[in-house]
Amino acid sequence: MTDHNEPTKNAEKGGANDLRYMPGFGNDFETESLPGALPQGQNSPQKCAYGLYAEQLSGSPFTAPRGTNERSWLYRIRPSVKHNGRFAALDRPFWKTAPCLNDHSLALGQLRWDPVPMPKDAVDFISGMRTVTTAGDAMTQTGMASHVYVCNTDMVDDYFFNADGELLIVPESGTLRIFTELGMMDVAPLEIALIPRGMLFKVSILEAGIDGGARGYVCENYGAKFTLPERGPIGANCLANPRDFKTPVAAYEDKETPCRVLVKWCGQFHVTEIGHSPLDVVAWHGNYTPFKYDLRTFSPVGAILFDHPDPSIFTVLTAPTDEAGTANVDFVIFPPRWMVAENTFRPPWYHRNIMSEFMGLICGQYDAKEEGFVPGGMSLHNMMLAHGPDAYGFDKASNAELGPQKLDGTMAFMFETRYPQQLTKFAAELETLQDDYLDCWSGLERKFDGTPEGRP
């Protein structure tokens, strides 16, 4: 078997960062691993070079407006019809799909978990996917799911595509090598990757992290594709800049041995056996592509005089709905930044929100919760359920000296959706669920005593 990835040919496992990428968000890219493999001036010549087959992969309806029309042309050793034989049912009981209602009997409340433990058995990126919440309805292409992946095994002859949505992958421990139809990406903690709906890929562990494996979070977006948020009065720069998104150059496997294609389709899993690798795309062009992005390149804009702005200022990617400003899901980060606001309670305020907030932590501490929210952990503050700083954080921030202060070495994030997030049985029964989470607010005592100063 050979991996072809020009010009760094045969990028072997272990060689992190030797892969090549093309910069830009939503660009029309072109790339070939063999010279002349990509037709010029047309998509579908009578005969393609090297005996390749031409195939279009459409990520939007043919007639979508120009700004949201996404498709790529793939030039491959065999067309995908040769990859999709007769499917058999496959059991992947921990990967759930919306609607998945009443899956547990846990009482309504704010929830927090310590990290998901690594299973003792061999699990790869697909069998190690653990759904925490589902929202909306995949069948109507609305909503999302929040997952955690825990894996300790490479996908070698197994390949996967998800017809139900795109996958936003947020590693927390361990570096992944993601080999997609359009090329290879190495993705480490503090980076994210996006795999478009319907695109085949496999995942191996390039550098092991926790327990000799890898762990992270995934947002499965059933709705409109993630795009960059409008910057409004911020102007043409800052937040996530388009050139920091990286799309892989073409790479292919020439492998004629037994392989399996796994598919998730309307919440069900299916498998078919084939005699070759489906990652056989030698050249491609188009704008329906996977990409990765380094969260350290996000340029935050924030409060430079007083008050705490809404966290939407930290939106990296947004998946819109038809209702203005009402996201199917937003991917928001809380990156290292300077806090300088005067006469201000600087951490997040207490609040209730129509949107439902799933949070994870990649490293460091989160300013509203210095204790109890640890890297690899997660919290769920669902539609209209009150939350905010714990008692310790409130006290500390209410009495802090308000000089310039850098929040450093930290990266939290939020999957925030307009749809209520339904808990799975797995999450409700997870041993790392913190039974005492609500106690973090129990020390918030009455300070009102009828005087303007209140009780200290």
Residues serving a catalytic function are 308
- Using CA atoms, how far residue 292 sits from 107, 123, 329, 348, in Å, is 38, 24, 18, 29
224 Cβ partners below 8 Å, 6+ apart?
A: 68, 141, 319, 320, 321, 328
Q: Which is nearer to Fe ion, 124 or 367 (CB)?
A: 367
Site for ligand OMD (CB under 6 A): which residue of 263, 368, 380, 427? Answer: 368
Interaction of residue 311 with ligand OMD, rule CB under 6 A: yes
Q: Which is nearer to ligand OMD, 332 or 430 (CB)?
A: 332
**Residue 13 site contact among Fe ion, ligand OMD, none (CB < 5 to 8 Å, cut-off depends on kind):** none
284, 144, 299, 293 alpha-carbon torsion, rounded to 10°:
-30
Q: How far is the CB of 381 from ligand OMD (least distance, A)?
A: 6
CA dihedral for 70, 147, 373, 455, sign (positive or negative): positive
233 Cβ partners below 8 Å, 6+ apart?
A: none
Stretch touching Fe ion by CB under 5 A, among 221-229, 276-284, 349-357, 419-427:
349-357
Site for ligand OMD (CB under 6 A): which residue of 357, 377, 413, 419? Answer: 357
Q: Which is nearer to ligand OMD, 104 or 352 (CB)?
A: 352
**Residue 414 site contact among ligand OMD, Fe ion, none (CB < 5 to 8 Å, cut-off depends on kind):** ligand OMD
Reference 25, options 186, 184, 227; nearest CA is 227
Interaction of residue 357 with Fe ion, rule CB under 5 A: yes
d(CA 252, CA 76): 9
Token pair 């058995």 is at which residue? 121
39, 45, 46, 49 alpha-carbon torsion, rounded to 10°:
10
**Residue 104 site contact among ligand OMD, Fe ion, none (CB < 5 to 8 Å, cut-off depends on kind):** none
Reference 262, options 142, 156, 168; nearest CA is 156
Size of the site for Fe ion (CB under 5 A): 1
One-letter amino acid at 298 equals F
Interaction of residue 364 with ligand OMD, rule CB under 6 A: no
Reference 221, options 178, 276, 173, 165; nearest CA is 165
Interaction of residue 418 with ligand OMD, rule CB under 6 A: no
**Residue 158 site contact among Fe ion, ligand OMD, none (CB < 5 to 8 Å, cut-off depends on kind):** none
Q: Which is nearer to ligand OMD, 80 or 379 (CB)?
A: 379
455 Cβ partners below 8 Å, 6+ apart?
A: 446, 447, 448, 449
User: Known binding site: residues?
Assistant: 387
Helix (H) or strand (E) holding 399: helix 391-399
Tokens encoding 7? 């010009």
N- to C-terminal Cα distance for the chain?
A: 70
Q: How far is the CB of 223 from ligand OMD (least distance, A)?
A: 21
Q: How far is the CB of 257 from ligand OMD (least distance, A)?
A: 48
Stretch touching Fe ion by CB under 5 A, among 30-38, 284-292, 320-328, 354-362:
354-362
The distance from CA 398 to its chain's CA centroid, rounded to whole angstroms, is 34
Interaction of residue 414 with ligand OMD, rule CB under 6 A: yes
Q: How far is the CB of 262 from Fe ion (least distance, A)?
A: 36
Size of the site for ligand OMD (CB under 6 A): 8
> Residue number with the shortest CB distance to Fe ion?
357
Q: How far is the CB of 335 from ligand OMD (least distance, A)?
A: 12
Q: How far is the CB of 314 from ligand OMD (least distance, A)?
A: 8
Q: Which is nearer to Fe ion, 297 or 312 (CB)?
A: 312
Q: How far is the CB of 426 from ligand OMD (least distance, A)?
A: 23
Interaction of residue 387 with ligand OMD, rule CB under 6 A: yes
Interaction of residue 348 with ligand OMD, rule CB under 6 A: yes
Helix (H) or strand (E) holding 427: helix 425-429
Interaction of residue 177 with ligand OMD, rule CB under 6 A: no
Helix, strand, coil % over all residues of the chain, rounded to 5: 10, 40, 50
CA dihedral for 350, 354, 355, 359, sign (positive or negative): positive
Interaction of residue 411 with ligand OMD, rule CB under 6 A: no
Q: Which is nearer to ligand OMD, 311 or 420 (CB)?
A: 311
**Residue 216 site contact among ligand OMD, Fe ion, none (CB < 5 to 8 Å, cut-off depends on kind):** none
User: Known binding site for homogentisate: residues?
Assistant: 387
Q: Which is nearer to ligand OMD, 144 or 414 (CB)?
A: 414
DSSP 306-365: SS---GGGGEEEEEE-SSTT-EEEEEEEE-SEEE--SS---SPPPB--SSEEEEEEEES-
Could you list the residues that contact ligand OMD (CB under 6 A)?
Answer: 311, 348, 351, 357, 368, 381, 387, 414
Binding residues for Fe ion (CB under 5 A):
357
